Amino acid sequence: MCSTFTIFVLSFQSGERYMKIQLLWVGRTAKSYVSEAIDEYAGRIGRYMPFETVQLADVKNAGHLTSSEVRDREGEMILKALRSDDMVVLLDDKGREYTSIEFASWIGGMANRSVRQLVFVIGGAYGFSRGVYDRADALLSISRMTFSHQIVRPIFLEQLYRAMTILRGEPYHHEESLIRRRG
């Protein structure tokens, strides 16, 4: 099955107003190698467009709470961190899956729609509260596989960086070689 989509090539000239992208998550990053990967890809993405990561605090006394209570408290923190005009995308296993090129095209479309701030949200170990789902504008799945909420951070950032290079027509992504291997 072949689908047609448009790649939006973004120009990144100083002085213009750009969409800002934010990656928001709950809880500290425990492993140094995960933090290093996050820092590496966040720095790369920042060369293409305004970008920041936002780490919300762990829920206090989570060990004395049910999973539902933890999820609800995390949800309250997430909702407080969002602005009313944010385009909110939850990274969720029930979300839509894209190829890397389709994801890049989607990001380009958001920028061309004049979205001011695109916020991707990674939930905690117990997922998202009903209130966070209700606030979301879209759900995105990066895989049908399950990843820990910590390791998904650098995995997603690599895909976001890949999308930036695709939008700029840079050689980081090698789609042709992937197609040859499948055929």
Residue 104 has pLDDT above 90, yes or no: yes
Model pLDDT, residue 26: 93
pLDDT of residue 176: 54
**146 falls in which pLDDT band (50, 70, 90)?**
confident
What is the average pLDDT across 162-166? 94
DSSP per-residue letters across 147-176 = --TTTHHHHHHHHHHHHHHHHTT-TT--HH
Task: Give the residue-averaged pLDDT of 99-127.
Answer: 93
Residue 69 phi/psi, 5-degree rounding, is -65, -40
pLDDT of 39 reads 97
Mean of pLDDT values over 6-34: 72
| Averaged pLDDT score across all residues of the chain | 86
Q: Which amino acid is at 95?
A: G
CB crowding 142-156: b at 16 or more within 10 Å, else e: beeeeeebbebbbbb
Higher pLDDT, 143 or 16: 143
How much is the pLDDT for 172? 84
Mean pLDDT to the nearest integer, 69-81: 95
Angle between helix axes 32-46 and 152-167 (nearest 10 degrees) is: 20
% of the chain beyond a pLDDT of 90: 67
Residue 5 has pLDDT above 50, yes or no: no
Check residue 175 and give its pLDDT.
66
Q: How many CA atoms lie within 13 A of 33 on its CB side?
A: 2
* 3-state class (DSSP) for residue 31: coil
What distance in Å separates the CA atoms of residue 57 and residue 52, rounded to the nearest whole number? 16
* Nearest C-alpha neighbor of 120 from the set 135, 100, 140, 150: 140
What is the C-alpha separation between 151 and 122, in angstroms, rounded?
11
Q: Are 49 and 20 in contact (CB under 8 A)?
A: yes
Is 80 exceeded by the pLDDT of residue 17?
no
C-alpha span between 90 and 127 (Å, rounded): 10
pLDDT at 173 over 90: no
């027509």: which residue's tokens?
169
pLDDT average, residue stretch 124-131: 94
- Summarize pLDDT for 21-70 with one digit per residue, the tens: 999 999 999 899 999 999 999 999 999 999 999 999 989 888 889 999 99
- Structure tokens of 53? 């990561």
